[in-house]
Copies of this chain bind each other. A is one copy, B any other.
Amino acid sequence: MTHELPNALKDAGLKATPARKHILDLFSADCKPINAEYIHEKLKGEKINQVTIYRTLASFELAGIVKKIELQKGSAYYELAGKHHHHVVCVDCGKTEGFEICGVDKISKDILKQSSQFKTISQHSLELFGMCKSCSKG
């Protein structure tokens, strides 16, 4: 149960509280986007308040430990901030798969070139939606 981010909390200037260590462990263990509800459910043995989870996610995001992603599932999802990547989401079961292909930087340059109103583009969101193999059976 030792996490792969041993000094992430200290480096971020965050005190190493049980709640934070457990949540960090969860991120390391399940390498997939998770939301507050999932964390609360997975850690229900630890009796961590939902508010603490929201605050922990906010501080992790501020510290650059995790990244918030918009999967259009009605709540905010987070995952470890690692290599730049995007996701395919199954519209049926919600399963996600990451991918590293991303041509958006080139698109951004083209946009700026032809844009009358924008000066810089610093971020982007790109999510694909489709059917996974299990759900498209039958």
Contacts and interface: CB of A to CB of B under 8 A. Distances in A.
Interface of A: 70, 72, 88, 90-91, 95, 97, 99, 101-104, 106-108, 110-112, 114-133, 136
A118 B88 contact: yes
A117 B91 contact: no
Contacts of A132: 117-119
Contacts of A107: 101-103, 128
A124 B128 contact: yes
A111 to B, nearest CB: 5
A91 to B, nearest CB: 7
A120 B116 CA distance: 36
A37 B69 CA distance: 24
A125 B88 contact: no
Q: Which 9 A-B pairs have the closest CB atoms?
A: A121-B130, A123-B129, A119-B136, A120-B130, A124-B128, A126-B126, A119-B133, A120-B131, A121-B128
A97 B114 CA distance: 11
A117 B129 contact: no
